Amino acid sequence: MAIPKVMGTEIEYGIIVKNDPDFDPISSCVLLVNAYREDPAGKILWDYDQENPLADARGFQVDGEKYTPNQQENIARNKTLINGARYYVDHAHPEYSCPEVTNARDLVVHEKAGERVVEISRREASSLLPAGAQMLLHKNNSDRKGNSYGSHENYLMDRRASFKQIVENLMPFFATRQVYTGAGKVGSENRGYPCDYQLSQRADFFETEVALDTMVKRPIINTRDEPHADREKYRRLHVIVGDSNMSEYTIYLRNGVTSLILSMIEDGAITKNLVLRDPVRAIKDVSHDPTCRREVTLEGGKKLTGVQIQAEYLEMALAYAASHDIDEVTADVLERWQYVIDALARDPMELSREIDWVIKKELIESYMDGKGLSGDWENPRVRMLDLQYHDTRPDKGLYSMLERQGRVDRIVTDEEIQHAIHTPPEDTRAYFRGECLRRYPGEVFGVNWDSISFGVGDEPIKRVMMAEPLKGTRRLVEELLDGSADAGELVKNLRA
């Protein structure tokens, strides 16, 4: 029986400062992250002791330097928020890792709340810059000059599912899901063959099938084995093969369908052999064809389009849903997935309210037609549309504009997103994390996904482990928190 799919996303944003000849991305990121002020605010360390990004799911440990900043740098680069999220500086990009949630709908709410957190701090940071300078952020994955940065998804999986099985069952799915998860991009890069427009921001950057790297020679399936939970029971699938999506509908499908497929893998329900002859080539071939008609070759020589491969997964999913208990959100995801696959098979452009790459293509082509620029994909204004689609400013971002005008479909409400900026999900350990930060701000010393430590008076630091992502929920700990006036009492009550 598949385990509940606790999930989250980590989004790196593109950052620039306009009209600043001395623009430095790292110091701008530090300024940005520190411009976000929460009430109550604490100086909290990110607890790197608990991290091991060099463990490989295939069963070995890679040599390398583990990054551990000093205390001052740590506090300057890491913010843990009262909604349970981590907002921090990763290399030369700001990154927002949303709190753990249990379903794709909550994921949409919290990923969108992250966009607003980033935008709030962008406005604050901009006000601190010299006159004329302005910080801008883009929720995208590439600068169109060969530099890419990620949008990662995480899913909790049963440790008993073999990694080899996961790889085999997932590879064709990951090579082709971009037909409905792509964020769209004008042109190609990173030695990709030329095209006007492609489905995915990231496809040009995948160079190998399976590996531990995330920054060079990027793999379609990443092997990082760092569960941030009880490693005897769980693995965390770290998915790096996705785009940063703007459309709520697209985010919903991306996480909803993927989590369903992972449950099916745990239950042995991927019964068709869809193994691709060359997944790295296939991911690019599928991305570079907005008609969705190009075929890729399976191991046995059979040829299918990306949409047809997804339709095969859909067929297995419908059979799975008929014989297993699936939750309300997954049932809704399945229905929409079916609708989207049918539309893609007819004409992808029918999905101009739902799927990012189609919404963006429609926007750009409308503009080109209206301005006498038809076919001029190299035009700077066309390139600008591509970029500005992802701008986080509500008054300037083109996706925001379409949303405001009611030209795209939504999944959640503004009220829910606004609420999630200050409130953790109630049904995961993120609740315990967020509530501790809210209730005992001066006494939280350090945080990681699976631990929180308290500095109470002169006593040694007390670390509380949270190895179970589905514990620490409101149902389980609210009473305990209500009965603990401070962190000292909480620690005492936990021991009682």
Partner 1 sequence: MRFTTGPKRAADRRLPIYGAAESTQKQQPKGGGGDAADAKSGEGGKKMAKKGEELKEEMDELLDEIDNVLEENAEEFVKNYVQRGGQ
Instruction: Please identify every residue annotated as catalytic.
Output: 90
Is the distance from CB of 393 to CB of 135 less than 8 angstroms? no
Is the distance from CB of 190 to CB of 148 less than 8 angstroms? yes
Pick one of 28, 352, 451, 473: the residue that binds partner 1 (CB under 8 A). Answer: 352
Position 144 contacts partner 1 (CB under 8 A): yes
CB atoms within 10 A of CB 128: 12
- In angstroms, what is the minimal distance from the CB of 241 to partner 1? 12
Query: Can you tell me the distance from the alpha carbon of 320 to that of 139, in angstroms, rounded to the nearest whole number?
Result: 34
Position 132 contacts partner 1 (CB under 8 A): no
Sign of CA dihedral 24, 29, 32, 34: negative
Our CB check for partner 1 shows the closer of 182 and 397 to be 397
Positions 212 through 271 that interact with partner 1 (CB under 8 A): 214-215, 240
Pick one of 122, 228, 235, 336: the residue that binds partner 1 (CB under 8 A). Answer: 336
Pick one of 233, 277, 324, 410: the residue that binds partner 1 (CB under 8 A). Answer: 410
Position 372 contacts partner 1 (CB under 8 A): no
Position 148 contacts partner 1 (CB under 8 A): yes
- In angstroms, what is the minimal distance from the CB of 441 to partner 1? 30
- In angstroms, what is the minimal distance from the CB of 25 to partner 1? 6
- In angstroms, what is the minimal distance from the CB of 180 to partner 1? 13
The piece of 311-319, 409-417, 419-427, 458-466 that touches partner 1 (CB under 8 A) is: 409-417
Ramachandran category for residue 301: left, alpha or beta (phi over 0 → left; psi -120 to 50 → alpha) = left
Position 25 contacts partner 1 (CB under 8 A): yes
Query: Can you tell me the distance from the alpha carbon of 221 to that of 261, in angstroms, rounded to the nearest whole number?
Result: 15
Give the SS3 label for residue 467.
coil
Pick one of 383, 422, 463, 474: the residue that binds partner 1 (CB under 8 A). Answer: 383
- In angstroms, what is the minimal distance from the CB of 254 to partner 1? 17
Give the SS3 label for residue 416.
helix
Pick one of 128, 319, 384, 494: the residue that binds partner 1 (CB under 8 A). Answer: 384
Query: Can you tell me the distance from the alpha carbon of 168 to that of 220, in angstroms, rounded to the nearest whole number?
Result: 12
The piece of 1-9, 260-268, 270-278, 406-414 that touches partner 1 (CB under 8 A) is: 406-414
Our CB check for partner 1 shows the closer of 86 and 336 to be 336
- In angstroms, what is the minimal distance from the CB of 147 to partner 1? 5
Our CB check for partner 1 shows the closer of 290 and 446 to be 290
DSSP-derived secondary structure letter, 13: P
The piece of 34-42, 159-167, 281-289, 405-413 that touches partner 1 (CB under 8 A) is: 405-413
Positions 288 through 327 that interact with partner 1 (CB under 8 A): none
Position 191 contacts partner 1 (CB under 8 A): no
- In angstroms, what is the minimal distance from the CB of 4 to partner 1? 18
Pick one of 149, 163, 197, 431: the residue that binds partner 1 (CB under 8 A). Answer: 149
Pick one of 33, 237, 344, 385: the residue that binds partner 1 (CB under 8 A). Answer: 385
Give the position of tokens 């509940």: 4
Please give the angle made by the CA atoms of 226, 230 and 236, to the nearest 5 degrees.
40
- In angstroms, what is the minimal distance from the CB of 198 to partner 1? 17
Position 413 contacts partner 1 (CB under 8 A): yes
Query: Can you tell me the distance from the alpha carbon of 210 to that of 51, in angstroms, rounded to the nearest whole number?
Result: 21
The piece of 141-149, 304-312, 419-427, 465-473 that touches partner 1 (CB under 8 A) is: 141-149
Rg of the chain over all Cα atoms, to the nearest angstrom: 22
Is the distance from CB of 185 to CB of 386 less than 8 angstroms? yes
Q: In this structure, are strands 444-448 and 45-46 parallel, antiparallel, or unpaired? A: parallel
Query: Can you tell me the distance from the alpha carbon of 93 to that of 215, in angstroms, rounded to the nearest whole number?
Result: 13
Our CB check for partner 1 shows the closer of 186 and 444 to be 186
Query: Can you tell me the distance from the alpha carbon of 43 to that of 166, in angstroms, rounded to the nearest whole number?
Result: 40
- Residues written for the chain: 496
Tell me, residue by residue from 426 to 465, as one string, x for binding to partner 1 by CB under 8 A and - for no binding.
Answer: ----------------------------------------
- In angstroms, what is the minimal distance from the CB of 105 to partner 1? 7
Give the SS3 label for residue 479.
helix
User: φ, ψ for residue 318 (rounded to 5)?
Assistant: -65, -40
Applying CB under 8 A, the site for partner 1 has a residue count of 59
Is the distance from CB of 192 to CB of 204 less than 8 angstroms? yes
Query: Can you tell me the distance from the alpha carbon of 312 to that of 61, in angstroms, rounded to the nearest whole number?
Result: 36
Instruction: Please name the residues in contact with 162: beta carbons below 8 A apart, sequence gap of 6 or more.
Output: none
Structure tokens at 160: 């008993």
- In angstroms, what is the minimal distance from the CB of 146 to partner 1? 8
Position 90 contacts partner 1 (CB under 8 A): yes
Is the distance from CB of 137 to CB of 15 less than 8 angstroms? yes
Sign of CA dihedral 388, 390, 394, 398: positive
Q: Which of 44, 286, 19 is closest to 174 using CA atoms?
A: 286
Our CB check for partner 1 shows the closer of 211 and 456 to be 211
| Interface contacts to partner 1, rule CB under 8 A | 12, 14-16, 25, 90-93, 105, 142-145, 147-150, 152, 214-215, 240, 328-329, 332, 335-336, 338-339, 352-353, 362-363, 365-367, 369-371, 380-381, 383-385, 387-388, 395-396, 398, 401-402, 405-407, 409-413
